[in-house]
Structure 1
Amino acid sequence: MRVLLSAFASFWAGPLVACDLALVLAVDVSGSVDAGEYRIQMDGLATALRDPVISEALVRAQAKLMLLQWTGASRQRITIPWTVIDSFEAADAYADAVQSDPRIWRNFSTAIGEALEISMASFDDVPECKRYLIDVSGDGSSNEGIEPTELHAELRARGITVNAIAIEESEPELTAYFYENVIVGDGAFVVSASGFLDYPERIRRKLLREVTEQTSDLPGQIRDHRDDVLITLTSSPHAK
């Protein structure tokens, strides 16, 4: 499928942009996430990044990706720094790095605000990108550190969008909490997973939406035959 997508893309694609998208992948490693659930997250995220439609869009966007492991206050770390996805080989290598990324913390609280703050500051290192997105995965509401809503004004001012995937394993109202307190920016959205076993498919669909439907200034279309979805690569209707 990747070969077909590449051939199709080469027919209509114009020159690649310098960097259409800077994307922070912020992964929850707080105490509520056990070893098996951490592995589901990282394997699911890696599999999503290898998806031929997603990787095609990332390469076309010359996207830059960064992975942040986050938990309690003062315990967030960039474990995979900014990496440009300028080829399928780079996309595969990044997915491999995600899948093998060792867990840093295990037994701490949930500080979503600090995760957003560190992610926001990291964009200073990629000023050339056109669109800035933080992709937060979490299974609990923030219970330590800065309140996420305290950062919303600055995030909006900087043109940064925050989307989220709410893993409702132990908090059935987490989607509503993320909607009210975490996501921000034009077109921001929350994807719900009823539990960690749902995470791989949910994160694939989430990334599919983020890096294809919302990718700016990249005209053309790719069809995802598994979901029978025609994905249109156009300027985001919510672009600022």
Structure 2
Amino acid sequence: MTMLRALMVSLFLAPQAFACDLALALAVDVSGSVDSEEYRIQMDGLAAGLRDPIVSEALVRGQARLMLVQWTGSSRQRITIPWTRIDSFATLDDFAERVAADPRVWRNFSTAIGEALEMTVTSFDEVSECKRHLIDLSGDGISNEGIEPSTIHAKLRESGITVNAIAIEESEPDLTAYFFENVIVGEGAFVVSAAGFADYPERIRKKLLREVTQQTAGLSQTQP
């Protein structure tokens, strides 16, 4: 009895493993419609959004896993920063620095959103311990190459992965509606609209705030 009691006490006092609340894949559009300045706006804006005090607090407290993906045309998708455990503010700041400094992989190719989703979904096997699985896709155009995004929806649902999107309507005024109908999927999935790349940093910050501080719930929706 004494040994059993000692074992129970030791288990009770042992440090508890931190649970991962969110695995978040950040998928950034680097297709031909995105020029060098617009690419820089995206990466700097994303890095700044991750450093937002509320966003960073939620990511660290939730022991989140973050990953960066660059995507463009068919067969051109790459994980440029692999899954990283955000277990401190220093780790988060390092990840944000890597995002801001991430060199562009491709230029002057088409837009294959379906293939970007298909490639990214397989990476979530590495973070199966996380409570929520989410792809945050940014884009400034409709999918015009490769498989249709909607064909990946069944696989995403089966894997328990939600896809949210930010529609950068620089040259596609109906892009938000297209993303709503064809790209986002999952409980509580939503689209945020940016009028153009100049609007992107503030919109991605608000999008991250919503994603990391709230449980996904309710119907899919658009957000101006």
TM-score by length of 2: 0.89
Partner of 1:190: 191
Partner of 1:66: 67
Partner of 2:81: 80
* Correspondence 1:153 to 2:159: no
Equivalent positions of 1:144-223 (< 5 A) are: 144-214=145-215
Identity, % of aligned positions: 75
Partner of 2:24: 23
> For the residues of structure 1 that align with 2:217 and 2:206, how far apart are their CA atoms?
19
* Correspondence 1:90 to 2:91: yes
> For the residues of structure 2 that align with 1:17 and 1:93, how far apart are their CA atoms?
20
- The structure with more radius of gyration: 2
Q: Which amino acid aligns with 1:184?
A: V
Q: Which amino acid aligns with 1:168?
A: E
> For the residues of structure 2 that align with 1:117 and 1:19, how far apart are their CA atoms?
23
- Displacement of 1:174 in angstroms is 0.1
> For the residues of structure 1 that align with 2:179 and 2:17, how far apart are their CA atoms?
34
* Correspondence 1:138 to 2:143: no
Deviations 1:28-67 (A, max 9, x none): 0000000000000000000001111000000011000000
Question: Which secondary structure state, in structure 2, belongs to the residue aligned with residue 164 of structure 1?
Answer: strand
Alignment: residue pair count: 204
> For the residues of structure 1 that align with 2:112 and 2:62, how far apart are their CA atoms?
31
> For the residues of structure 1 that align with 2:193 and 2:32, how far apart are their CA atoms?
20
Partner of 1:48: 49
Partner of 1:224: none
Stretches of structure 1 lacking an aligned partner (at least 5 in a row): 1-14, 215-235
- Displacement of 1:16 in angstroms is 7.4
> For the residues of structure 1 that align with 2:17 and 2:62, how far apart are their CA atoms?
7
> For the residues of structure 1 that align with 2:135 and 2:17, how far apart are their CA atoms?
23
> For the residues of structure 1 that align with 2:214 and 2:153, how far apart are their CA atoms?
24
**RMSD (Å), alpha carbons:** 1.3
Contact 1:16/1:60 (<8 A) preserved: no
Q: Higher helix proportion, which one?
A: 2
Question: Which secondary structure state, in structure 1, belongs to the residue aligned with residue 144 of structure 2?
Answer: coil
Q: Which amino acid aligns with 2:25?
A: V
Q: Which amino acid aligns with 1:139?
A: D
Q: Which amino acid aligns with 2:122?
A: A
Contact 1:16/1:62 (<8 A) preserved: no
Partner of 2:13: none
Q: Which amino acid aligns with 1:205?
A: K
Contact 1:161/1:183 (<8 A) preserved: yes
Partner of 1:112: 113
Runs of 4+ in 1 over 6 A off after TM superposition: none
Q: Which amino acid aligns with 1:116?
A: L
Partner of 1:4: none
Stretches of structure 2 lacking an aligned partner (at least 5 in a row): 1-15, 219-224
